[in-house]
Amino acid sequence: MQKSNQATLPQPRDPFQTLFSRLFGDTLPEFYGSTESSGAPRTNISENDSAYELSFELPGLEEADIHVHMQDHTLTVTAERKDQGEETGKRWHRIEHRYGRFARTISLPQDAANAGIEAVYKNGVLTVTVPKAPESRPTKIQVRTN
């Protein structure tokens, strides 16, 4: 086997990828690690002019078992699914459901407001709406003739 004498040059960094990973890197497990291994819920994130919307897959949970916290532009969703495998009178042949405590933490951009956050749990999906700070929202300015 013959070795190459060429030095490997570092690849240029994409500034948009770096910015994107800083803002939402902890929310994209397919690029930065898997939610499958951690048990963290799959998450969709979208935004419009006035708010960010985050949807978490949390099937089979009771509303009381879900907790949402926001601190320093970081949203944390924690939940606990009770283990039904310990029920007496049953012989389990396969258990694939995940049980126990899990959490998902997402860093939001600086324009995310800490007040006015809404969380709605329906059909196994938790939807958290985080408003944008009023001063960061686009403002339409009327143009007049003089």
Q: Residue 135's pLDDT is what?
A: 76
Q: Rounded distance, CA 103 to CA 83, Å?
A: 17
Q: Rounded distance, CA 44 to CA 28, Å?
A: 9
Return the H-helix or E-strand segment holding 35. Answer: helix 35-38
Q: Residue 60's pLDDT is what?
A: 87
Are 51 and 130 within 8 A, CB to CB? yes
What average pLDDT score do residues 37-44 get?
A: 78
What average pLDDT score do residues 36-54 get?
A: 85
Q: Residue 108's pLDDT is what?
A: 94
Q: Residue 36's pLDDT is what?
A: 44
Residue 26 confidence (pLDDT) above 70: no
Lowest-pLDDT range, 36-40, 41-45, 63-67? 36-40
Q: Residue 17's pLDDT is what?
A: 53
Q: Residue 37's pLDDT is what?
A: 45
User: So where are the chain's domains?
Assistant: 15-85+98-136
CATH number assigned to the domain covering 15-85+98-136: 2.60.40.790
Q: Residue 129's pLDDT is what?
A: 97
Return the H-helix or E-strand segment holding 118. Answer: strand 118-122
* Most confident listed range (28-42, 79-93, 99-113): 99-113
Q: Residue 24's pLDDT is what?
A: 54
Phi, psi values for residue 69, rounded to 5°: -135, 145
